[in-house]
Amino acid sequence: MSAPAGLPPRPAGAAAAVYPGGPGASREAAAAQGGAPCYQNGPVQGQMQFPSGYGSHPPNYSVPSGHYSEVPNKAAASHLDNQYRASYYPTYYSAPAQNVMTPSVGTNVLNTQESQQLYNKTPPHTVGSAEGPIQGAIPPASYLHTNAQQSYSAFGNLYSTSVSSSVASQGFPLDSGHCTMPTTPVVSGAMYPSVSYPAAAGSVYGKAFTSQSLTAVGQFKETNTFSSWSISVPHSLQQHVPMGYNSTLSTMSSAQSVQGNLSRNLTGSAAKVNNQINTAIDSSSTTSSASPVLNNYDALEGGGYPEARSVTSSPVPAPSVPQTSKASKPFGYGYPTLQPGYQNAAPPTPVQPSNPGHHPGLQHYPQQYSGVNQLSSSLGGLSLQHSQQPESLRPVNLTQDRNILPVSSVPAPVPNLNSDLRKLNCSPDSFRCTLTNVPQTQALLNKAKLPLGLLLHPFRDLTQLPVITSSTIVRCRSCRTYINPFVSFIDQRRWKCNLCYRVNDVPEEFMYNPLTRSYGEPHKRPEVQNSTVEFIASSDYMLRPPQPAVYLFVLDVSHNAVEAGYLTIVCQSLLENLDKLPGDSRTRIGFITFDSTVQFYNLQEGLSQPQMLIVSDIDDIFLPTPDSLLVNLHESKELIKDLLNALPNMFTNTRETHSALGPALQAAFKLMSPTGGRISVFQTQLPSLGAGLLHSREDPNQRSSTKVVQHLGPATDFYKKLALDCSGQQTAVDLFLLSSQYSDLASLACISKYSAGCIYYYPSFHRSHNPTQAEKLQKDLKRYLTRKIGFEAVMRIRCTKGLSIHTFHGNFFVRSTDLLSLANVNPDAGFAVQMSIEESLTDTSLVCFQTALLYTSSKGERRIRVHTLCLPVVSSLADVYAGADVQAVVCLLANMAVDRSVSSSLADARDALVNAVVDSLAAYMSAASNLQQSMLIAPNSLKLFPLYILALLKQKAFRTGTSTRLDDRVYAMCQMKSQPLVHLMKMIHPNLYRIDRLIDESTIHVNDRVVPQPPLQKLSAEKLTREGAFFMDCGSIFYIWIGKNCDNNFIKDVLGYPNYASVPQKMTQLPEMDALSSERTRSFISWLRDGRPLSPVLQVIKDENPAKTDFLQHLIEDRTEAAFSYYEFLLNIQQQICK
Amino acid sequence: FCILSYCTIFPYLVFQIITLSDLECDYINARSCCSKLNKWVVPEVIGHAVVTVLMLISLHWFIFLLNLPVATWNIYRYIMVPSGNMGVFDPTEIHNRGQLKSHMKEAMIKLGFHLLCFFMYLYSMILALIND
């Protein structure tokens, strides 16, 4: 969004996104206004309590609160918090953003345990905020708690470790406690070192030390050595303790965001850095006495090990363990209780001794677990010289190491930054880079043979994000970067852009911090304290007034469609969700149906019933009554309801088999072009009439061919052109394809791909014959209709000078070099970009990436969501490998492979995937010269790389030799391009759990429910025993596989049938049985389900069920007729490397 | 009269380069750039093919052979456009995988080539005039 002010305007209609020099324009105004007055929220700062502040700033905050509250309201809080809970990475920094408006930075920083408690306790609040009307002071308060809970749910979950007994604690008292904290502690904390670090941080710390002193120690060593060290340790536990580690980090970021709020609410909230460091010092001093360290490790171990899951059951209960639990359990009474704990634990000792104190603990750890992890040798060396070989570089012999899967989900690697930056950094869920250590030069990147790119999920549902209203949005004058936490302030008046290094002035208005009511502290502003922020944009950011939410439904009503019976489901879902459609009083809605003709519906207010207008001239389509087809949702609600009730039966006797999709789309485009909005198209067959007609291109005999797969690209450019027209008019087309035969998705998908829509595909859909698909449609629709939506959006990704983005993946239209035009943006859309290093980055140690998404919310507000990610630059190959993020790499490769298979051929794409593994491992092995060449060695950070690539090769999108319908294949490709990383990884490598023996150990507590955490199993039939029942989480679908000799008790208690034989073939729901195992299973499943936007369909599969193949195809480590097993694949790679 | 046909191809190439660099600098959007360029792809191909064939007819073997690869490349490019694309220049792909750069490079090379040819033709025309 950096169109320099002097540029000629973009062609009209291209977007509402030209930004004449915003800051410049409003600077004078700001100066005139002076500091305080320009912030409406200035006057209100008498209290620190966020809720009250929140409530009492109607001009600024009411909107955000309303806006965000919409999320809990609509999607139901449970959905949100679950999303955080179940998702892959605990590091949902965003959530914590404002949860605790407190001086207790340290709390969040260091205290996972607390988070868990917090988290455990909050459900009542959640409910309150979810249901209550959101106004006044109280709802915001509960809203806060919701957030707290949500944010912590992630930690709680991942941190399954300890304190399962800590249910008692609470979110609310905690918050209020914090809120009412006097300012002084913080201020003083800012100024003095640890000694004077009184109640606030201290008590906070007391809570924290249980699990976190490990990182805390690291924290205080601010150098790189430290960070590599702190990385190395947790990673060495990677298989077992990733949670502990991650949660730490996430908490850090939470701390950062907390700080953001803090600075809003507290006068002189003062250097958070200091706070942080103080806390760190405190904690490190704790570690100087060896026993707490041990405890910490125990706690960590507890997190991962099945054997020792909770602190209390950990084998080495050193003196402070009881203390820990004491500190945590009574936590519910408010944190003052913790103070004793803190005082005991953290006498203000000098910092220095902490290191020696720490290392014994570390050594202790590997000894205990060496057997399990095969770590002993590498870790033994690690104890003092961590920086020498970070854990992520630990060589893993792939052919020998069979158990490479972590116990729980794979964590995102954490950039090797110093702790201040790290906690400011953007959440890996929104923003991930394939290489968290960016190589210095392109030559080094080429040597590493890994792709450099970003994976973005910019519009993710966030429960908390700072929303900033100010008349000037501070941006760099030359590159238009938004001010972010990684800029440097040269002095009070100037800041240096971290992307182009230009020195900019700080506008007068920015000097005043509305949250603290203090002047002259630009670095305390929320923009500078949070790497994810949202600005409410001024009219500078609009080309036209913000558009209303406009929804148009285009429904196929040909014979085929009526037969499949989807209309009933769609109309039903719409009726149910009509009031929940995001929008304001201007929301408009319209309907078009089509078979061989196109039917419009006049829903003008005042009519007694909907009027159908049939246009049969499909070659030259026109709108019969242009102004009454899209009507105001609220004014014509009755008519709309009538229509929806009538629609399913209107066409029951139709004999029309043709489908004129093209003309219907043209009509829809004409209807939408004045406003823009969203077109939802439901199509059930190949379009056979009018413009854009398609012919069947699939040869069923070629489905399982191993040679050439043709027709992956579109057959005509009609849909692409139409999509670009739509995109130009800010209209997105979402395609729902519900077909039983080939419908040429490759061509049809273009309409959504380039208009930034989304694609849903339901193969062999039939309402009664295929209930699974019907249920899926219903659930998808519910999410689809109620999720957040952004209109007339544009996204720009900027990166530090020297890097350049050369390829984009996702659904959008690249309008100019780095500007993505998104007619609509939805929270389930992911994007990927590939980058190259144009100039050497030798003179910088950090690179930053910033994505800015400018959109119109459904409430008609123009908003800009900005994410900033900061990564270190490294010069050695080893460091590049150490920072590789295997999941991001695999997702980016998947995107590249899709492009490759369309532009070249599937075989090429497959080869490229295999070569990616071969090249990178070969490069690694030749770089690490001390390794024996005969073995297949991968750095620990990449140990899952071959597995994931194999999984990718066995995906529907890329597999050969197995019968795959062309549409299925194309759909899988579309998903790879448009899914965010979290969902894509589930699709590539599903999670398999054994669920017939769920135990209470290692459970976590979510909303007063006990959620068991069974360990991940390898995706191999060897793990499936006939005695067991297994659960597979494939992202969009859940399978439960029941072995033949499965325990009858399980079948009876969980499935509700007396024995194996009586379990029906099609079972999609688990009954609510009154048995412990049933309860556990259900809570586990609902916990997984809550974590994602599309609630997946459950399918119970018996051993001899025909649907078994669906399940077995996901066992990617096994050999199939057409593909290698994992071991064979490894051998194959090894061979190729040796060649 | 080779020169005549050159007079038409030259402006086109210059135009192509200007448009592409416009796009690079973000002055126009990809859609309009590509539609502008695609309009002239066919005339270019035809024009160049005609020149090449004329060379063959007038038995200028050397010049014909010189032109042949370029003409073939043009025709190949035109034929190989995937069915779903909107022409040689596709707005949805032009920003991806360095396509913009490769288009630019190609235009530059062609410009150089045609410049060379232009002077060769000019030379041979003058030579022919003198001989007359």
Mutation target to probe the A interface, by most A beta carbons within 10 A, among B35, B95, B99, B104 is B95
Instruction: Render pLDDT for A411-429 as a digit per residue (tens, 0 to 9).
Output: 777 777 777 777 778 787 8
Q: Mean of the per-residue pLDDT values for chain A? A: 66
Question: Quick count: other Cβ atoms within 10 Å of Cβ A777?
Answer: 24
Amino acid B6: pLDDT = 57
Nearest to A11 among B29, B84, B85 (CB): B29
> In chain B, what residues touch A715 (CB-CB under 8 Å)?
83-84
Which span out of A72-86, A697-711, B101-115 was modeled with the highest average pLDDT? B101-115
Amino acid A621: pLDDT = 83
Q: How far is A815 from chain B (nearest CA, A)?
A: 6
CB A533 within 8 A of CB A468: yes
Instruction: Render pLDDT for A779-802 as a digit per residue (tens, 0 to 9).
Output: 888 888 888 888 888 899 888 888
Partner-chain contact B84 A747, CB within 8 Å: yes
CA torsion sign for B116, B120, B121, B126 is positive
Instruction: Render pLDDT for A243-277 as a digit per residue (tens, 0 to 9).
Output: 333 333 333 333 343 343 433 333 333 333 333 33
Query: Per-residue b/e over A54-93, b at no fewer than 16 CB within 10 Å?
Result: bbbbeebbbbbbebbbbbbbbbbbbbbbbbbbbbbbbbbb
Instruction: Render pLDDT for B21-78 as a digit per residue (tens, 0 to 9).
Output: 555 555 567 777 777 777 777 777 777 777 777 777 776 777 778 778 888 888 888 8
Partner-chain contact A714 B83, CB within 8 Å: yes
- B28 and chain A: CB distance < 8 Å anywhere? yes
* Residue A546, token pair as written in the block: 């913000």
Residue type, A419: S
Q: How far is B105 from chain A (nearest CA, A)?
A: 16
d(CA A568, CA A574): 10
Query: Per-residue b/e over A483-496, b at no fewer than 16 CB within 10 Å?
Result: bbbbbeeeeeeebe
pLDDT band for position A185 (50/70/90)? very low
Partner-chain contact A11 B32, CB within 8 Å: yes
Nearest to B86 among A721, A813, A819 (CB): A721
Q: How far is B24 from chain A (nearest CA, A)?
A: 7
- A3 and chain B: CB distance < 8 Å anywhere? yes
Q: Is the pLDDT of residue A287 over 60?
A: no
Residue type, B126: I
- A838 and chain B: CB distance < 8 Å anywhere? no
Task: Report helix, strand or coil for A975.
Answer: helix
- B97 and chain A: CB distance < 8 Å anywhere? yes
Instruction: Render A266-288 in DSSP notation, one character per residue.
Output: STT---HHHHHHHHHHHHHHHHH
Q: Which of B18, B57, B56, B66 is nearest to B40 (CA)?
A: B18
Instruction: Render pLDDT for A475-526 as a digit per residue (tens, 0 to 9).
Output: 888 888 888 888 888 877 888 888 888 888 888 777 777 666 777 677 777 7
> In chain A, what residues touch B98 (CB-CB under 8 Å)?
806-807
Partner-chain contact B24 A817, CB within 8 Å: yes
- B35 and chain A: CB distance < 8 Å anywhere? no
B positions 69-88 inside 8 Å of A (CB): 82-86
Q: Is the pLDDT of residue A168 over 50?
A: no
d(CA A250, CA A51): 24
- B58 and chain A: CB distance < 8 Å anywhere? no
Instruction: Render pLDDT for A123-136 as a digit per residue (tens, 0 to 9).
Output: 334 333 333 333 33
Report the chain B residue with the minimal C-alpha distance to residue A819. B26
- B23 and chain A: CB distance < 8 Å anywhere? yes
d(CA A7, CA B34): 20
Task: Report helix, strand or coil for A914.
Answer: helix
Partner-chain contact A754 B30, CB within 8 Å: no
| Burial classification of residue A888, based on how many CB atoms lie within 10 Å of its CB (0-12 exposed, 13-18 middle, 19 or more buried) | buried
Q: Which of A442, A1024, A571, A547 is nearest to A824 (CA)?
A: A547
Report the chain A residue with the minimal C-alpha distance to residue B22. A816
Amino acid A138: pLDDT = 37
- A728 and chain B: CB distance < 8 Å anywhere? yes
- The single-letter DSSP state of residue A29 is H
Amino acid A828: pLDDT = 86
In which residue are the tokens 């299925």 written?
A968
Residue type, A518: S
* Residue A962 main-chain phi, psi, to 5 deg: -100, 140
Q: How far is B85 from chain A (nearest CA, A)?
A: 6
* Residue A682, token pair as written in the block: 């439901």
- A814 and chain B: CB distance < 8 Å anywhere? yes
Mutation target to probe the B interface, by most B beta carbons within 10 A, among A726, A806, A819, A833 is A806
Nearest to A728 among B24, B31, B94 (CB): B31
> In chain B, what residues touch A724 (CB-CB under 8 Å)?
31, 91-92
| Per-residue 3-state assignment (H helix, E strand, C coil) for A843-883 | CCCEEEEEEEEEEEECCCCEEEEEEEEEEEEECCHHHHHHC
Partner-chain contact A14 B29, CB within 8 Å: yes
Instruction: Report how far apart, in Å, the C-alpha atoms of A585 and of each of A58, A335, A549, A692 are.
Output: 20, 45, 9, 36
- Domain-wise residue ranges, chain B: 1-131
Report the chain A residue with the minimal C-alpha distance to residue B25. A817
Q: Is the pLDDT of residue A151 over 50?
A: no
Nearest to B26 among A717, A721, A817 (CB): A817
- A819 and chain B: CB distance < 8 Å anywhere? yes
Task: Report helix, strand or coil for A495.
Answer: strand
Q: Which of A890, A889, A886, A880 is nearest to A941 (CA)?
A: A886
Nearest to B83 among A14, A713, A754 (CB): A713
Q: How far is A700 from chain B (nearest CA, A)?
A: 22
* Residue A650, token pair as written in the block: 């209107």
Q: Is the pLDDT of residue A1021 over 70?
A: yes
pLDDT band for position A1074 (50/70/90)? confident
d(CA A1077, CA A1087): 15
Partner-chain contact B26 A747, CB within 8 Å: no
CB A988 within 8 A of CB A728: no
Instruction: Render pLDDT for A942-974 as a digit per residue (tens, 0 to 9).
Output: 888 888 888 888 888 888 877 778 888 888 888
Predicted-complex ipTM score: 0.80
Q: Which of A796, A779, A336 is nearest to A576 (CA)?
A: A779
d(CA A769, CA A773): 9
Nearest to A8 among B27, B31, B94 (CB): B27
Partner-chain contact B83 A817, CB within 8 Å: no
Nearest to B96 among A750, A807, A819 (CB): A807
CB pairs under 8 A between A and B: 69
Amino acid A145: pLDDT = 40
Partner-chain contact B96 A10, CB within 8 Å: no
> In chain A, what residues touch B83 (CB-CB under 8 Å)?
713-717
Q: How far is A693 from chain B (nearest CA, A)?
A: 13
Instruction: Render pLDDT for A628-650 as a digit per residue (tens, 0 to 9).
Output: 888 888 888 888 888 888 888 88
> In chain A, what residues touch B85 (CB-CB under 8 Å)?
717, 720
Question: Quick count: other Cβ atoms within 10 Å of Cβ A707?
Answer: 11
Amino acid A230: pLDDT = 34
For A142, the enclosing helix (H) or strand (E) is helix A138-158
Partner-chain contact A3 B26, CB within 8 Å: yes
- A716 and chain B: CB distance < 8 Å anywhere? yes
Q: Residue A606's Cα: distance from chain center in Å?
A: 45
Q: How far is A9 from chain B (nearest CA, A)?
A: 9
- B26 and chain A: CB distance < 8 Å anywhere? yes
Q: How far is B56 from chain A (nearest CA, A)?
A: 35
> In chain B, what residues touch A713 (CB-CB under 8 Å)?
82-84
Instruction: Render pLDDT for A850-889 as a digit per residue (tens, 0 to 9).
Output: 999 999 888 888 889 999 888 888 888 888 888 888 888 9
Report the chain A residue with the minimal C-alpha distance to residue B81. A903
Report the chain A residue with the minimal C-alpha distance to residue B30. A815
CA torsion sign for A1053, A1057, A1058, A1059 is negative
pLDDT band for position A1093 (50/70/90)? low
Residues 6+ apart with CB under 8 A from A557: A567, A593, A594, A595, A599, A650, A651, A654
Q: Report H helices in A305-434.
A: 320-328, 338-345, 354-373, 376-382, 419-424
Task: Report helix, strand or coil for A744.
Answer: coil
